[in-house]
């Protein structure tokens, strides 16, 4: 790849199909010039035209080489197998060492994180995302697969360790559901795109109360539908092995199903929450106090029974909400 | 002293990110100053002052702020050295999408936001393409999918950059950025003789110089006409 400028554009595109969008995004006009080499293409433009296009040949060659390397690594590698994430103790805000030896979170586990405002829940999530190596205010250390993590987890844009389901569920793009998922699928270079897109829309419809069509504009989805689409899309298309959730609201989606969809895709789920139902849906919960991990509690059998009761109560409350919304008068509990 | 140049489209979150990052840097006992370049108006200097940060501002008026930047950055650097800063951060709004204030061997950061639309990365030009670090803000108001698509587009125009996500409101990610800014072994004492990463196009036409009348006979210098023949 040293002599990338001596390949014909045609040959480059054949060898690396993903370069098509690279050329488009870098505003180098190559149509009609496929029979030329990059060097010849540059020579065709005078300096002013290149300046106009914002193209600087030397930088361009550097960037295209880097891009090819990245994409080849990305395509060549099998799945990002993250089987476990280990947290080694740091200190709380007063400098006291956290009271646990090590905390191992395994693929397929749901961990909830609870604690008062300002206690350090977000910091813990950020430590994981940054794969902290005793270089954050908490001095925690994060291991992946019980080993010192690869640097790529910090800086690669295609290999993020963590995907985050945002609290906010607005879409800003002006696209249909299908186009939107397609765009995402293309950026992840997935094979058999159409199947994947179909599956995502199906799963999203499973999660949402009211169904929507592939040609519905994303901006006209309801809150529940948007959230359902986001969760299905993240579960299936995002390569990140860890999913962080900041409160899945009740907004018209089946939370239990949402979590099981994420788990069926081999994710680790970490969920900061104030909602007792969500907190108890975790296999374990981390209690944060004064910046430190105060306790790690395994959800007990008794708690699971209580969870069922809480869910029953939740459904009752929802039923009342529906009644009030439709104009009924409530006469008994 | 370390000099760090921060650039990006208006309202992309430059000030928000710089303020949060300085919070993290201050905890390492580093002395930090800011210089803000803009065109007609800015009240960013007030925001920096309020946060207890020494700040200088420069308004370029009718000139391209990036051209104005290059003409003044050496003096600004001397000011920073006199003040004894460990880090001097420059903030400038990229307005013409064609210029960028980045200097070879001086750390260059571009701030761009998720809301600006997925075709923005390819429109921005050298300000994005030749940055060392690209910060993407406002991830809190878009979906994970949109964040991933946007980051992929940024990566496509600048594959060599470190791409980071920062929330300018909560500061999430700013601690991480702060770890990349200061390098004790780097001592910038003067910029004399250093070079811009990208040439700034000459924009000198008669209108730059105050001409207001319309018509070919008033047009001098670097004038370019639209092509109406093109199909
Ligand atoms: N162990 C620690 N040592 C020093 N600082 C810490 C520690 N843990 C957290 N902090 C700092 O405390 C502040 C509050 O923490 P954080 O934002 O994580 O709280 P939170 O639990 O997410 O609060 P909320 O419920 O309001 O979102 C942050 O500035 C964070 O960096
Ligand atoms: N929601 C959200 N708003 C942000 C974020 N970053 C910045 N902002 C807001 O965007 C606006 C413009 O930010 P500012 O820092 O002034 O942009 P600048 O012109 O690039 O310096 C301000 O109102 C900020 O509060 C972010 O990550 N999320
Ligand atoms: Mg928080
Ligand atoms: Mg600003
Ligand atoms: Zn300019």
Helices A193-207 and A255-264: crossing angle in degrees, nearest 10, is: 150
Higher local confidence (pLDDT), B25 or A209: B25
3-class DSSP state of B27? coil
Strand, helix or coil for residue B100: coil
Strands (E), B14-139: 32-38, 54-59, 87-93, 107-113, 133-137
pLDDT at residue number B220: 65
Listed in sequence order, the DSSP H helices in chain A are 9-15, 19-25, 38-44, 47-53, 57-76, 121-129, 152-155, 177-187, 193-207, 223-237, 255-264, 276-281, 301-325
Provide the CATH number for the domain around residue A291.
3.40.50.300
Instruction: Write down all domains in chain B, each with its CATH number in brackets.
Output: 2-202 (3.40.50.300)
Q: Which 3 state secondary structure label does DSSP give B86?
A: coil
Please tell me whether residues A163 and A250 are part of one structural domain: yes
Is A207 in the same domain as A229? yes
Examine the domain organization and report whether A326 and A264 are in the same domain: no
Query: How far apart (Å, rounded) are the C-alpha atoms in residues A183 and A244?
Result: 23
Same domain assignment for residues A115 and A30: no
The complex's ipTM works out to 0.71
Question: What number is the average pLDDT over the span A309-316?
Answer: 89
- Mutate which of A122, A244, A294 for ligand 1 pocket (most atoms within 8 A of beta carbon): A122
Is A184 part of any domain? yes
What does each of the 231 residues of chain B score in pLDDT, given as a tens digit?
Answer: 999 999 999 899 999 999 999 999 998 899 999 999 988 888 899 999 999 999 999 888 777 788 888 889 999 999 999 999 999 999 998 777 777 889 999 999 999 999 998 888 988 888 999 999 999 999 888 888 888 889 988 998 998 899 999 999 988 889 989 999 999 899 999 998 898 888 777 655 566 656 677 777 777 666 666 767 655
Residue-wise pLDDT for A95-109, tens only, equals: 999 989 999 999 889
- The pLDDT of residue A206 is above 70: yes
Encode pLDDT of A4-62 as tens digits. 878 899 988 888 888 888 888 887 888 888 899 888 888 888 887 887 777 788 888 88
Interface check for A301 against chain B (CB to CB < 8 A): the answer is no
What pTM does this model have? 0.79
Q: Do A293 and A317 fall within a single domain?
A: no
Residue A79: inside a domain, yes or no?
no
Q: Whose CA is closest to atom 18 on ligand 2?
A: B11
* A157 and A43 fall within a common domain: no
| Residue from A234, A267, A298 nearest A107 by CA | A267
CA of B108 to the centre of ligand 5 (A): 17
Total of domains in chain A:
3
Q: What sign has the CA pseudo-torsion A37, A41, A47, A51? A: negative
**Residues near A78 by beta carbon (within 8 Å), at least 6 away in sequence:** none
Q: What is the mean pLDDT of chain A?
A: 86
Strands across the sheet containing A292-298: A162-165, A242-246, A268-272, A110-114, A284-289, A292-298
Do residues A195 and A266 share a domain?
yes
- A212-262 pLDDT, tens digit per residue, is 999 999 988 887 888 889 889 988 888 788 888 876 665 567 777 888 888
Predicted local confidence at residue A244, as pLDDT? 87
CA A120 to ligand 1 centroid distance, Å: 3
Domain coverage including residue A320: 302-333
Contact A63 B148 (CB under 8 A): no
- Same domain as A114, residue A180: yes
Percent of chain A with pLDDT strictly greater than 70: 93
């Amino acid at each position: 790849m040293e002599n990338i400028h001596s390949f014909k554009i045609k040959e480059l595109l054949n060898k690396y199909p993903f370069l098509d969008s690279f050329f488009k995004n870098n505003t180098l006009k190559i149509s009609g010039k496929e029979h030329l080499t990059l060097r010849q293409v540059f020579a065709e433009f005078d300096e002013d035209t290149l300046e106009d296009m914002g193209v600087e040949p030397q930088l361009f060659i550097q960037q295209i080489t880097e891009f090819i390397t990245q994409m080849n690594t990305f395509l060549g590698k099998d799945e990002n197998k993250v089987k476990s994430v280990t947290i080694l103790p740091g200190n709380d805000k007063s400098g006291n060492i956290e009271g646990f030896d090590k905390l191992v979170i395994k693929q397929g586990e749901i961990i909830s994180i609870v604690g008062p405002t300002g206690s350090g829940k977000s910091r813990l999530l950020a430590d994981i995302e940054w794969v902290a190596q005793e270089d954050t205010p908490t001095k925690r250390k994060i291991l992946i697969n019980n080993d010192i993590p690869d640097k790529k987890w910090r800086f690669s844009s295609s290999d993020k360790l963590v995907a985050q389901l945002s609290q906010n569920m607005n879409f800003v793009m002006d696209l249909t559901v299908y186009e939107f998922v397609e765009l995402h699928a293309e950026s992840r270079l997935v094979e058999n795109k159409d199947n994947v897109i179909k599956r995502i829309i199906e799963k999203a419809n499973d999660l949402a109360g009211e169904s929507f069509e592939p040609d519905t504009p994303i901006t006209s989805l309801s809150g529940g539908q948007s959230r359902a689409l986001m969760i299905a899309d993240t579960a299936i298309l995002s390569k990140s092995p860890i999913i962080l959730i900041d409160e899945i609201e009740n907004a018209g989606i089946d939370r239990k199903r949402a979590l099981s969809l994420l788990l069926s895709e081999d994710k680790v789920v970490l969920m900061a929450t104030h909602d007792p139902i969500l907190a108890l849906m975790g296999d374990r919960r981390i209690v944060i106090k004064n910046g430190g991990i105060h306790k790690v509690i395994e959800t007990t059998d008794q708690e699971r029974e209580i969870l069922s009761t809480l869910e029953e109560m939740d459904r009752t409350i929802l039923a009342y909400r529906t009644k009030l919304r439709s104009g009924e008068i409530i006469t008994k509990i | 002293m370390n000099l760090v140049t921060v650039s990006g489209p208006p309202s992309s979150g430059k000030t928000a990110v710089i303020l949060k990052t300085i919070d993290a840097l201050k905890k390492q006992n580093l002395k930090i100053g800011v210089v803000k370049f803009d065109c007609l108006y800015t009240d960013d200097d007030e925001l920096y002052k309020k946060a207890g940060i020494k700040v200088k501002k420069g308004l370029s008026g009718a000139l391209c702020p990036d051209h104005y930047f290059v003409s003044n950055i050496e003096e600004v650097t001397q000011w920073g050295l006199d003040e004894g800063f460990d880090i001097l951060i420059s903030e400038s709004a990229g307005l013409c999408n064609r210029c960028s204030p980045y200097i070879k061997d001086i750390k260059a950061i571009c701030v761009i936001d998720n809301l600006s639309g997925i075709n923005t990365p390819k429109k921005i030009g050298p300000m994005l393409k030749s940055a060392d670090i690209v910060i993407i803000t406002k991830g809190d108001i878009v979906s994970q999918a949109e964040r991933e698509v946007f980051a992929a587009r940024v990566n496509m125009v600048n594959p060599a950059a470190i791409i980071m996500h920062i929330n300018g409101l909560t500061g999430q990610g700013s601690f991480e950025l702060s770890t990349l800014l200061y390098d004790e072994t780097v001592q910038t004492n003067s910029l004399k003789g250093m070079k811009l990463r990208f040439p700034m196009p000459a924009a000198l036409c008669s209108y730059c110089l105050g001409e207001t009348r319309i018509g070919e006979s008033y047009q001098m210098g670097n004038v370019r006409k639209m092509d109406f023949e093109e199909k």
